[in-house]
Amino acid sequence: MIVGRSARTEEREIGDRMSVLRFRLVALLLLWASPLLAQSEFPSGPAPAAKAPAFDVGVGYSHVMLNVSGEPTVNLNGADASATIYFNPRWGATLDLSYVLAGRDPESGHGSYVFSALAGPVFVPVQNEKTRLLVRALAGVSLVDGSVPVDQLFYRGWLLRFSWAGGAGVERDISRPFAVRLNVDYLRTKFMSENLTVQPQNDIRFTGSLVFRFAARRKARHGAVRQP
- The pLDDT of residue 27 is above 60: no
What is the helix (H) or strand (E) element at residue 224, kind and residue range?
Answer: none
Distance CA 188, CA 208 (A): 19
Average pLDDT, the chain: 76
- The pLDDT of residue 4 is above 50: no
pLDDT in tens, 106-116: 566 677 889 99
202-224 b/e (C-beta count within 10 Å ≥ 16 → b): ebbbbbbbebebeeeeeeeeeee
Whether the full predicted model's pTM is greater than 0.75, yes or no, is no
CATH class of 2-39+51-214: mainly beta
Distance CA 198, CA 196 (A): 7
**Secondary structure E strands in the chain:** 54-66, 74-86, 91-102, 112-127, 131-150, 153-175, 178-192, 198-214
Lowest-confidence region among 17-26, 54-63, 96-105, 205-214: 17-26
